[in-house]
Amino acid sequence: MILRTGLIAALLLVTGCKAPPVPEAEPAVEAPPVPPPFAHVDYDDMRNWLCHPDMPEGNACDVDLTATVIHEDGTTEIEESYALLDTAPFDCFYIYPTVSFDQTWNSDLLTGPEELNVAENQLARYGSVCNLYAPIYRQRTLLELQTLMVTGVSNANVEMRWADVVDSWEYYLEHNNKGRPVLLIGHSQGADMVLQLLKAEIIGKPVQAQIVGAHAIGFTAHADADGTFGGMPVCSAPGEAGCLVNYESFRATAEPPAASRFGLKAADGRSAICTSPPALVEAGATALDAYMPAQSFSAAEPTDFGAPVSTPFVKLPGLVSGECRSNATHDWFAVTVAPGDGPRVDDIRGDVMFNGQVVAEWGLHLVDMNLAMGNLVALAALQAEAWQAAQTGD
């Protein structure tokens, strides 16, 4: 189970895959042609979902999430997985990040190992508190991202991508939601789609009253002058519902370089939003409840955790903590690693690598959600409780 998220270079290095061919950059690049018309996706067909309670088979979120808990002294215990809830008190609607290895500008609608892996790492654990809905959408592929970074020109049909997100959301509202509270979740490209969905389809409309919150992570958002995101409050304390969680993570020892787009303040000086998941569960808390993939990010070098591991996930209590930090150019979530004296591993993997070197501009983008997964799930449950209390006046 290798986590695949975000930057093409990072994915190629951590998985050992060869890069797809990249067009040569030209001195002058013509604008891409107008994208051709596209057919809309039938979201009544369960094959067009990664996760959905009504899927007869192939639910990407119905997976083994068992974790080996390794304490600093090397002792271990097993945290068992759980079955998806038959009836949860609220729903979670998830848009996944840039993961597709399809050799086209937009992905197809077929589920590949990369989509399965990202649902396992980023969404499935939310299934302990909510019903999970994750549509397949024709996202920008890693090939498109790589080409865009080289040439500065996008070839993807972004109208088709957006139509898939809106169509799946509208299908969910019409056929599945039935007035229930719902939490929006997304990472990277998926967070971008969630943020756009909030502004275009939710904020200021009746459906906003059903929103438990939004966990849009790994894509920079900026607060407006009134402190909101387009009219949606930014989460600032435990017990808040209907608010936005947003952050980009970097090691505490390596703050974002000036050239990094993650956590970059707006040109007009507005801060990038940074919300700390542990502090939103318990005021002042910094301990991260991380769930890391047990398999190494490097296909050639297995991770030695300092104890035997046979489960898909590993927990390393007390090793990592996080808090929001700022400087003149960036606002980010700083992750501190505190190695101990025992036999347990004393660092985490997740840096973006290229040619054996850390790509500092991308920080810990690959593990933005893994680092705080336990905190995020706990926060989701607390937000749902706060939402319900607001409905009943408690």
DSSP state of 365: G
> Residue 104 is which amino acid?
T
Identify the pLDDT of residue 394: 67
- The alpha-helical segments, DSSP class H, found in 139-181 are 142-151, 158-172
Which two structure tokens, joined as six digits, stand for 369?
């959600």
DSSP state of 35: P
Q: How far is CA 306 from CA 74, 76, 271, 300, 382, in A?
A: 6, 10, 40, 18, 34
**How does pLDDT run across 108-137, given as a tens digit for each residue?**
999 999 999 999 999 999 999 999 999 999
Which band of pLDDT confidence, cut at 50, 70 and 90, is reported for residue 26?
Answer: very low
Identify the pLDDT of residue 336: 98
Which two structure tokens, joined as six digits, stand for 149?
């970074």
- Structural contact between residues 1 and 117, judged by C-beta atoms closer than 8 angstroms: yes
Mean pLDDT across 299-328 = 90
- Structural contact between residues 322 and 336, judged by C-beta atoms closer than 8 angstroms: yes
Ranges of each domain in the chain? 8-20+42-392
**How does pLDDT run across 366-392, given as a tens digit for each residue?**
999 999 999 999 999 999 999 999 998
Which band of pLDDT confidence, cut at 50, 70 and 90, is reported for residue 301?
Answer: low
Q: Could you tell me how far CA 352 lies from the centroid of its own chain?
A: 15
**How does pLDDT run across 203-258, given as a tens digit for each residue?**
999 999 999 999 999 999 999 999 999 999 999 999 999 999 999 999 999 999 99
Mean pLDDT across 49-63 = 96
pLDDT at 1 over 70: no
